[in-house]
Amino acid sequence: MPANKCQCDPAPKKAMKKIMEKIPMTRAGYDALEAELKQLKSVERHAIVKAIAEAREHGDLSENAEYHSAREKQSFIEGRIKELEGILSLTEVLDPSKMSGTIKFGATVTLIDEDTDEEHTWQIVGEHEASIENGLLNIKSPIARALIGKEEGDSVDVKTPGGGKSYEVIDVKFI
């Protein structure tokens, strides 16, 4: 084999490429994560440093529950800061109002459950901003994956962990 040929394992390169892929997110989701990061850095971080200093003043650290609790909280805060910085650095903000056509990321979709006649309205968003209670559906969820590419009037069968569901697409908006 020629000296300039690398016999490197391609798996790490594939893993690195997957890690570096952009994360789709709405402006509102990006702003919420950015606000959380700012809160952690400017308020929470300083408060926990103060709490650790106060706990140290209470004496023996090996038996000081306040100190250990504060250090644990500090570890959580620092981990969350690193996580948010990583997410935000890879985020691609997409504006749903500039989209149209079939259902895709950012669409606000109104569905009727064909079994119960219940109406649901969800916006399809990135996984880091999803909140089903707030009508924000993770793009990787079974329902969102089934909806992608569909149009108003289409019927959608969804296989969920709880069983199969059928929905009819009533309305699709990009707001």
pLDDT tens-digit series, residues 72-116: 999 999 999 999 999 999 999 998 888 888 999 999 999 999 989
Phi, psi of 123 (to 5 degrees): -105, 135
Pick among 1.10.3720.10, 3.40.50.300, 1.10.287.180, 2.60.120.10: CATH of 21-93: 1.10.287.180
Domain positions in the chain: 21-93, 96-173
Is the CB of residue 158 less than 8 Å from the CB of residue 165? yes
Contact 81, 40 (CB under 8 A): yes
| CA atoms within 13 A of residue 113's CA, in its CB half-sphere | 10
CATH code linked to domain 96-173: 3.10.50.30
C-alpha 50/C-alpha 147 separation (Å) is: 49
In whole angstroms, give the CA distance from residue 151 to residue 129: 24
**pLDDT digits 0-9 by tens, 25-68:** 999 999 999 999 999 999 999 999 999 998 888 777 777 788 88
